[in-house]
Amino acid sequence: MLFCHGNAGNISHRLESIRIFHQLGLNVFIFDYRGFGRSAGSISELGSYADVEAAWTYLIKQRNIAPEKIILFGRSLGSGIAAWLAKEKKSLAIILESSFISIPELARKYYPIFPIKLLARIKYPVIDYVKQISCAKLIIHSIDDELIPYQHGQRNFQMAYEPKRFLSIRGSHNEGFLISKEEYISGIEAFLSYLNCHPEKIN
């Protein structure tokens, strides 16, 4: 699993998630974008795309991992980064958790009276990317998410092509996967089983 984390914190704050994925039998490669953790530079949309592509290249060329064995994972901000990579590369599957339609659409929730689409320099148009992703998709979103509305995850799911699955959980934006841990794990486990049992439908 190539793990693209959210906006807050750095890779050291994702230990609970990594523990869950290890429990599910997945090896995890997680990295910090430029401007996060010990990575130098400043965060930018294009820069984060370059960073995730570099991580992908490392797995393929340095670790000799076949693309069809890699699952992409993106949470919150990372959903835009993982979705971009999924449309550019051929992976086994992608999991998008707490995904937004786009940054401008998300900004409308907080600044409804301003022309956000004209002002926003960062786009991360997840909804446009999911339409171009051919691999299997699992979209996870919490009904209680206070930062990214549940409808954003639903909309991304609606616009995605098959094969796809949607997992609804409960809990806050940052703790939903922990509050709904049992449902979260069983939902991902079911998705992984689907990938193993139906290879002919993947990609």
Q: Is residue 124 part of a domain?
A: yes
The active-site residue, picked from 17, 48, 76, 98, is 76
Taking only the tens place, the pLDDT of each residue in 118-168 is 556 789 999 999 999 999 999 999 999 999 999 999 999 999 999 999 999
Question: Catalytic annotation on 76?
Answer: yes
Is-contact 113 41, C-beta < 8 A?
no
Q: Is residue 110 part of a domain?
A: yes
Taking only the tens place, the pLDDT of each residue in 163-202 is 999 999 999 999 999 999 999 999 999 999 999 886 655 5
Q: Which structural domain, as residue segments, surrounds residue 97?
A: 2-137
CATH number assigned to the domain comprising residue 98: 3.40.50.1820
Q: Is residue 191 part of a domain?
A: no
The active-site residue, picked from 32, 44, 168, 173, is 173
Q: Is residue 158 part of a domain?
A: no
The active-site residue, picked from 51, 145, 152, 180, is 145
Q: Is residue 200 part of a domain?
A: no
Domain count, the chain: 1
Question: Catalytic annotation on 145?
Answer: yes
pLDDT band at 21 (very low <50, low <70, confident <90, very high): very high
